[in-house]
């Protein structure tokens, strides 16, 4: 059971040729698809980074201005101080379509 150098070289060449064939068979298509996916993810990452920066700047503005923070809380949670009135208006699109008929 001696393994000759010639057999080892033959097996290495066979494995290398098989790997090369598989790479050439599906390589260019697979790489271009992955490249497109990477570019799409990079664009998505860039837009998300911009959104994060905008929200962080909005938060810092709210932290510096307590009156604006109070208005934002009232607007989002629809809170009203005792004794004050709040009016909720409908969207103008529905009224316009009804008036046109």
What does the pLDDT read at residue 97?
Answer: 45
- Give the pLDDT of residue 94: 54
The DSSP symbol for 7 reads: H
pLDDT tens, position by position, 52-73: 999 999 999 999 998 998 888 8
Query: Measured between alpha carbons, how far is 27 from 21 in angstroms, rounded to an integer?
Result: 9
Tens of pLDDT, residues 11-51:
999 999 998 888 777 766 777 888 899 999 999 999 999 99
Q: Which residues contact 69 (CB under 8 A, 6 or more apart)?
A: 62, 63
Q: How many C-alpha atoms does 39 have within 13 Å on its Cβ side?
A: 6
């Amino acid at each position: 059971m001696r393994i000759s150098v010639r057999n080892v070289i033959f097996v290495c060449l066979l494995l290398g040729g098989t790997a090369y064939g598989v790479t050439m068979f599906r390589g260019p298509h697979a790489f271009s698809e992955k490249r497109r996916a990477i570019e799409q993810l990079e664009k998505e990452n860039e837009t998300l980074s911009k959104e994060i920066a905008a929200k962080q700047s909005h938060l810092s503005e709210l932290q510096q201005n307590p009156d604006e923070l109070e208005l934002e809380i009232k607007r989002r949670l629809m809170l009203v101080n005792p004794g004050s009135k709040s009016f909720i208006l409908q969207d103008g699109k529905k009224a316009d379509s009804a008036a046109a008929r």
